[in-house]
Amino acid sequence: MAESLNLLPASYADFRRQAENRLPRFLFDYIDGGAVAEDTLRRNTADWESLQLTQKVLNDASKMDCSVDLFGQKLALPVVLAPVGMGGMTARRGEVQAKRAADAAGIPFCLSTVGICPIEEVAGVSDQPMWFQLYMLKDRGIVAEILQRAWDHGVRTLAFTIDLPVLGTRYRDIRNGMSGGLGPWGKLRSGLIDYALHPRWAIDVGLRGKPHGFGTIARYVSQSKNPRDYLHWTGSQFDASVTWKDIEWLRGVWKGNLVLKGVLDVADAKQTVAIGADGMIISNHGGRQLDGASSTAAMLPRIADALGGSSTLIVDGGIRTGQDLVRALALGANAAMIGRPWVLAIAAGGEAALTRYLGLLKQDMRTALGLTGAINAKDVGRGVLLEQ
């Protein structure tokens, strides 16, 4: 095991392995796990891998271009770092490190409502705009105030999550006490043992990475002392009654780009366009909500064909390689989101590890472009895929 930790990571699996060794078990399982039997989690990755690329030769591959335009911004790579709740717990002020790496790579970072670092801290990394992800809270006054804070700190693209009216059943979290119990913070004995087995994380994040609350909503959670308090508050504040009417309200108060995250149905995709959203994220919440749901690779072409280019499409779930990025573009996506890859890379080695992962992702994509004859990301179409 020690030898594997000394190897230079070359793939997502390598970063994941290093993260597993460095994170407490409850935190690794929270990030890595999915709902119930994790069938959808596995299918997300497997269905991308099953799409075969067509190899074409003797095309001029001397000037390949991985860049795309998304909401008026040029991205060096068709990737957005997805919002991940508690992502900042995997490394000291993890979202700040991720924002720096994203800026350097020329791609956006999207901060979660329940991220560890607040809007103000993450936005302060640079003048490059970030995205913000919103969960609808029962107190609309708090929602409006959070949106204003985001706007004041340069956020112009809002990703509103719509696939969390109820929390998916996640067996790993239940076993670790993260769901339906006090959690590791309330299980002193087992928690201390887990921390002792992971001293690097315990010192770097547990001691030096404070505060550990959900930074953006910290001011609204009275007498909060630890993540358990925040989890209780968010559990009571998430609004399960949200409907399309609430999207109309949100469209009225948010002046920037509005993207609905969690679309996995053609009828819902059409309604997303009708409601006035600027785009959608085709997502099953990383396989963490409804186990047995379709993979995003399976639903993307259906939605893309049904909409006929009338909306901006972003896809997440199972994207691991640059070849996957080309597959996503071929099926109709304008860009992809990655969640677990950036969080586990940060856990494996901080900003430097994430920078390395993004570099590998770009190199993988260049290889796929050069050997499919597409050359430029904007030229990718269904023709780069072998007909099924």
Rounded distance, CA 87 to CA 115, Å? 6
Whether 212 is catalytic is no
N-terminal to C-terminal alpha carbon distance within the chain: 40
Active-site choice (153, 198, 232, 285): 285
Active site residues: 285
